[in-house]
Amino acid sequence: METLKIAIQKSGRLHDESLKILRDCGISINNGRDQLKVEAANFPLEIFYLRNGDIPQYLRDGVADLAIVGENLLYEKGEDLQIQKRLGFSKCKVSLAIPKQCDFKSVAELSGKQIATSYPNTLQKYLDQNNVSAEIHLITGSVEIAPNIGLADAICDIVSSGSTLFKNNLKEMDVILKSEAVLASSPNLNTEKKQILDKLLFRIDSVLRAENAKYVLLNAPNEKLNEIIKILPGMKSPTVMPLAESGWSSVHTVIYQEKFWEIIDELKSVGAESILVSPIEKMIL
């Protein structure tokens, strides 16, 4: 039987969250100390722990079939690779930043300047799109220090909270790219591996839906049920069950995070009571 080989970061910000989503999919991974490769106990999956920057080439070569990587890495080194699923975690930006005292108003003012970065291809594409000619200074370590030591006039780097920029007396000038963790695939998957991938994607979809939704139970007077049902479409329609107390019903439904508090406010305003909210472990449609 075929086994899917998935690459994740050996270490770094994506490592723990990559393992978590696989485990949330019910895949049993028993890590040994300093292992570079491990097989799942209950799913045809083999996990490779690789250096982040090497992963796109391993996908091209077919050494790995899948990988959980930052979208920014694919933009830099793997635009030819297919994204199978956006995973919603490890969100960040690749930004252009300058010293706080600089008064540059547009990227055009960086023409002829030096820009330090660990993402030369991403930066070059950005400069080309803006018709700017600047000197790219490649740095593999801490990019933020470059302007402070006179090595560059600006930097291009990953920004998460912005605290690192602040500590190094820098400010964001422009966002080049927004990124999150993605599941990417090799172009060399055979039919059997694609079938295993479909099963994995089904599990991932169930996990991601559950993370973005809450299970809600509430009590409602029967004369208000129609109003409440209009507010609560649910996955198809809410479940309504009579309570022991005459004239009242229990309503069960699912509310998605993006509109959760607005809907709760509406429910209360039309007479819903005793609203209980629970997390959902998996949501299978």
Structure confidence by residue, pLDDT tens digits, 251-268: 999 998 888 999 999 999
Q: How many CB atoms lie within 10 A of CB 164?
A: 16
pLDDT above 80 for 188: yes
Who's near 157: CB < 8 A, 6+ residues apart?
94, 95, 97, 117, 118, 119, 143, 144
Is 240 inside a domain boundary? yes
Who's near 204: CB < 8 A, 6+ residues apart?
21, 25, 85, 87, 183
Give percent of the chain with pLDDT exceeding 70.
98
Do 85 and 198 lie in one domain? The reply is: yes
Give the angle subtended at the CA of 7 by the CAs of 5 and 126, to the nearest 5°.
135
Domain count, the chain: 3
Distances (CA, A) of 54 to 72, 103, 143, 217: 14, 38, 20, 48
Structure confidence by residue, pLDDT tens digits, 52-97: 999 999 999 999 999 999 999 999 999 899 999 999 999 999 999 9
Do 96 and 175 lie in one domain? The reply is: yes
Residue whose tokens read 């019910």: 26
Say what the pLDDT of residue 105 is.
84
Q: How many CB atoms lie within 10 A of CB 279?
A: 9
Q: For the domain that residue 254 is a member of, what is the CATH number?
A: 3.30.70.120
Do 10 and 28 lie in one domain? The reply is: yes
Q: What is the amino acid identity at position 110? A: L
Do 15 and 40 lie in one domain? The reply is: yes
Is 285 inside a domain boundary? no
Do 85 and 184 lie in one domain? The reply is: yes
Is 284 inside a domain boundary? no
